[in-house]
Amino acid sequence: MMHRITAYFRAYHPIVHSILLGTCMARFASGMSMPFLSLYLARELSLSPVLIGATIGLGMFCEMIGGFIGGTLSDRFGRKRIMMTALYLWALVFSCYAFATEFWMFLLLTALQGLSRAFYEPVGQALLSDLTRPEQRYRVFTLRYTYNNLGWAIGPIIGALLGMSAGAAAFLITGGVYLIYAFIMQGMFARFDISQLQGAGKEEVTFRKAARTVWGDKALLMFILGSIMGTLCYSQITTNLSQHVGGLQGGITLFGVLLTVNAAVVVLLQLPLSSWAEKRTPLQTIWIGNLFYAAGFVGFAIADSWAGMIAAMAVFTIGEVLCFPAGSILLDRLAPEGMRGTYFGTQSFKYFGTSIGPWLGGTVLVGAGAEALFLGAALVAQVGTLFYWLGQRRAGNLFGQQQQKTPSL
């Protein structure tokens, strides 16, 4: 056992371990307060649902457009500067939430919160790629995804206590967690020099050059459209599935069970699934993952029992575990020299699907029912596969080779 633990820590750069731990901390901190922001706004400012929705939607919009900006800046000025700016700004924003008293303050803070995450995400992923060998990257991105889910699973439980009883204290604690993470990364950057890393400020990347490169990369554009289809589908799980299940007898309890199943499958299957996926190309993994997405949605459409719903969630989650890390590997391989941060930044455009998915799904749910919603989502997942196939045709042989298998740890 100790040998496996030692081998795990020796397998990756210390900064990689710090980012993985920090990713868990960041999601834990966000989960501790952000799910309760709407309740906080309603209680403290007596805002209408429309204004609350507009406030939260502004943060999502800033995150969607900010990823490309943050990724491009990291290619030009270096990963360290952008990551530390994002982390310290994040800590400040959450701390300021506790003292905000006016609607415009919450609008500003929510916009800055979205930008902070948008700057952090592509830089963190680019650093993971910079600091790991190609054959290790799928495993590292799978670990990142798992730590992400662990943090998000624990955070809301703590936030349910702090957010509902302590109010502003939840935001102060969240800000403190981000500050601790910032101090950890500051120490790691001081200990290990990353200035010579490829993409860490060596290339002269301008926004004009980045936009021209991205717009001219037709394969990337197809992959972005495919990822938008994926997030449009995934948003049905986080929003409209709860509405459908909540209308059933014991639905609230069932939805909690489904979320637990989702988290359990992610944790239990990420290692065996990542070992399996390392033998395939990232596009093959995404295509198969989309089939599991579709099968899960079909299961939700026809399930008439708790067992059926639980089985559908387990199948859907397998698709989730396959698709998310593979998407990061796909961008890592596609990115030109010196533009890895920019390409990871384009991942934020997929949140367009997250933005419109709840509204589109809700419209179908009300107008045609749950069966039509979930069968339609299964079809959309396959439309995403079509976009990925078109992207592969434009990318040529870039994705023709499978990944080298990562040695067992």
What's the pLDDT band for 345 if we cut at 50, 70, 90? confident
Model pLDDT, residue 197: 62
Mean residue pLDDT of the chain comes to 85
Comparing 6-10, 180-184, 343-347, which segment has the lowest mean pLDDT? 6-10
Tens of pLDDT, residue by residue over 262-276, are: 888 888 888 889 889
Highest mean pLDDT, choosing among 64-73, 349-358, 372-381 = 372-381
Comparing 26-40, 76-90, 101-115, 223-237, which segment has the lowest mean pLDDT? 26-40
Model pLDDT, residue 198: 47
Tens of pLDDT, residue by residue over 361-409, are: 888 988 898 999 999 999 999 999 999 999 888 877 555 555 544 433 3
Regarding the domain with residue range 213-400, which homologous superfamily does it belong to in the CATH classification? MFS general substrate transporter like domains (1.20.1250.20)
Model pLDDT, residue 286: 93
Rounded Cα distance between 69 and 319, Å, is: 29
111: left (phi over 0), alpha (psi -120 to 50) or beta: alpha
Higher pLDDT, 319 or 135: 319
Is 378:298 a contact under the CB 8 Å cutoff? yes
Model pLDDT, residue 292: 97
pTM over 0.85: no
- Over range 154-169, report the average pLDDT: 69
Tens of pLDDT, residue by residue over 172-199, are: 999 999 999 999 999 999 998 877 664 5
What SS3 state is found at 100? Answer: coil
- Over range 23-48, report the average pLDDT: 82
Model pLDDT, residue 310: 94
Rounded Cα distance between 34 and 178, Å, is: 14
The answer, yes or no, to whether residue 360 has pLDDT greater than 60, is: yes
Model pLDDT, residue 405: 46
Q: What are the CA-CA distances from residue 300 to residues 231, 245, 303 (Å)? A: 17, 10, 5
Comparing 123-127, 258-262, 282-286, 379-383, which segment has the lowest mean pLDDT? 258-262
What's the pLDDT band for 308 if we cut at 50, 70, 90? very high
CA contacts within 13 A on the Cβ side of 260: 7
Higher pLDDT, 143 or 202: 143
Is 33:163 a contact under the CB 8 Å cutoff? yes
- Over range 20-42, report the average pLDDT: 84
199: left (phi over 0), alpha (psi -120 to 50) or beta: left
Model pLDDT, residue 112: 95
Q: CATH 1.20.1250.20 occupies which residues in the chain? A: 1-189, 213-400
- Over range 30-52, report the average pLDDT: 80
Q: What is the CATH number of domain 1-189?
A: 1.20.1250.20
Model pLDDT, residue 162: 63
- Over range 227-247, report the average pLDDT: 85
Model pLDDT, residue 105: 94
Model pLDDT, residue 397: 59
The answer, yes or no, to whether residue 170 has pLDDT greater than 90, is: no
Highest mean pLDDT, choosing among 4-13, 28-37, 230-239 = 230-239
Model pLDDT, residue 400: 53
